[in-house]
């Protein structure tokens, strides 16, 4: 059903994009690249189109969508943001930062799930920006993945999952950053981190002052009521069970022939000690590389016919905070047979 458009990421052909932009303007759904992950987008002013996104993804009805704009004028149409914040935001925009602010009321209540607030971001991807400009409306777009599945950073996965479900899939190479935008809440007295992402909290604090980082944002399970609706759902899960272990545990299991039907997702350093099948994400000291490969590794795991997978945490500074959040949410603690193998000397 859907048409595939091949577009150059850095220098998009506007003529070719126009077809997809017209589709958005008339109620269509388009999967498109951003600098973080692929998004599945609709006209943010169109209730019916926005509700199609929820049904295509199987997304819970109380988890609002991010609205993408291509200019500060368009930002003014959708959100009411204090002048003092606007200046600071321009240090990060265009780029992978999303802010929750008061809605002007123009964005579809379906996209906002009835909230008085709206989450907005001004992406740096030239393709995304051109698409929004040509559509002439802001684009409401969550990550392009079926609900609970890992986000998509490789267009091959975007085509597999969405070709039959949407009007257009824009194919434009692998997502450069690979982890979603950082979401902050500007409506509370202290700025709160709602989701760790590609913009490091340390950078945000340099410009905005102290940011409150909750356990929810780290992906650590808590009883606390999540502040961002998306935080309470199971996320990013491969179909193959993925177990979170320490680096030492991984090195031990990775050499154990009893675990040759498992896949070990690891750093280059840990990988050196692993003789079983492995996917190396990158050096522990190159967290950007690790971030850019994580989601496609989770999807690759599912195509490897493995009994299970193992993953370990990485240093949690800079983009590493978001990497840790995604790894915790995608994985589970090791169980019986694995623990028994670790207990054996």
13 with 7: CB under 8 angstroms?
yes
Q: Enter the DSSP assignment of 179.
A: S
Looking at beta carbons only, is 143 or 249 nearer to ligand TXA? 143
Nearest approach, Cβ of residue 143 and Mg ion (Å): 3
**Locate tokens 């929820």: which residue?**
54
Task: Return residues touching ligand TXA (CB under 6 A).
Answer: 34, 36-37, 39, 63-66, 96, 98, 100, 115, 117-119, 121, 141-143, 180-181, 183, 194-195, 228-230
**CA atoms of 304 and 327, how far apart (whole Å):** 19
Q: Enter the DSSP assignment of 114.
A: T
Nearest approach, Cβ of residue 71 and ligand TXA (Å): 16
Question: Residue count at the site for Mg ion (CB under 5 A)?
Answer: 1
Residue 108 interacting entry, from Mg ion, ligand TXA, none, C-beta within 5 to 8 Å by type: none
**CA atoms of 42 and 29, how far apart (whole Å):** 5
Nearest approach, Cβ of residue 308 and Mg ion (Å): 24
Nearest approach, Cβ of residue 152 and Mg ion (Å): 10
Looking at beta carbons only, is 117 or 143 nearer to Mg ion? 143
Total residue length of the chain:
345
298 with 236: CB under 8 angstroms?
yes
250 torsion bin: left (phi>0), alpha (psi -120 to 50), beta (else): alpha
Does 143 engage in binding with Mg ion (CB under 5 A)? yes
Residue 66 interacting entry, from ligand TXA, Mg ion, none, C-beta within 5 to 8 Å by type: ligand TXA
x/- letters, 226..265, toward Mg ion (CB under 5 A)? ----------------------------------------
Residue 199 interacting entry, from Mg ion, ligand TXA, none, C-beta within 5 to 8 Å by type: none
* Phi then psi dihedrals of residue 202, to 5 deg: -55, -40
Cis amide leading into 94 (omega within 30): yes
Query: Comparing C-alpha atoms, which of 94, 87, 103 is closest to residue 130?
Result: 94
Which residues of this protein are in contact with Mg ion, per CB under 5 A? 143
């Amino acid at each position: 059903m859907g048409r595939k458009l091949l577009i150059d990421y850095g220098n998009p052909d506007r003529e070719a994009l126009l077809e997809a932009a017209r589709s958005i303007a008339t109620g269509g759904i388009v999967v498109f690249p951003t600098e973080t992950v692929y998004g599945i987008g609709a006209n943010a002013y169109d209730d019916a189109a926005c509700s199609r996104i929820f049904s295509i993804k199987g997304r819970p009805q109380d988890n609002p969508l991010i609205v993408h704009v291509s200019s500060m004028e368009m930002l003014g149409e959708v959100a009411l943001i204090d002048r003092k914040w606007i200046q600071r935001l321009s240090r990060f925009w265009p780029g992978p930062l999303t802010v929750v602010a008061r809605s002007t009321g123009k964005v579809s209540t379906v996209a906002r799930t009835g909230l008085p607030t709206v989450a907005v971001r001004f992406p740096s991807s030239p393709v995304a920006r051109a698409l929004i400009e040509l559509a002439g409306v802001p684009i409401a777009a969550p990550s392009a993945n079926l609900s609970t599945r890992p986000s998509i950073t490789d267009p091959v996965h975007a085509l597999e999952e969405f070709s039959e479900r949407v009007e257009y899939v824009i194919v434009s190479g692998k997502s450069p950053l690979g982890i979603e935008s950082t979401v902050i809440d500007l409506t509370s007295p202290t700025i709160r981190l709602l989701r760790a992402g590609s913009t490091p909290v340390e950078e945000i604090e340099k410009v905005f002052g102290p940011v409150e980082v909750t356990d929810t944002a780290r992906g650590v399970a808590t009883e606390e009521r999540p502040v961002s609706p998306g935080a309470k759902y199971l996320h990013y899960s491969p179909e193959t069970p993925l177990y979170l272990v320490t680096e030492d545990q991984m090195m031990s299991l990775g050499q154990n022939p009893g675990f040759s039907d498992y896949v070990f997702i690891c750093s280059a350093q840990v990988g050196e000690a692993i003789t079983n099948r492995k996917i190396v994400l990158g050096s522990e000291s190159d967290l950007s590389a690790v971030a850019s490969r994580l989601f496609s590794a989770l999807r690759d795991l599912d195509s490897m016919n493995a009994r299970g997978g193992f993953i370990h945490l990485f240093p949690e500074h800079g983009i590493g905070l978001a990497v840790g959040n995604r790894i915790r949410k995608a994985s589970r603690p090791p169980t019986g047979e694995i623990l028994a193998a670790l207990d054996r000397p």
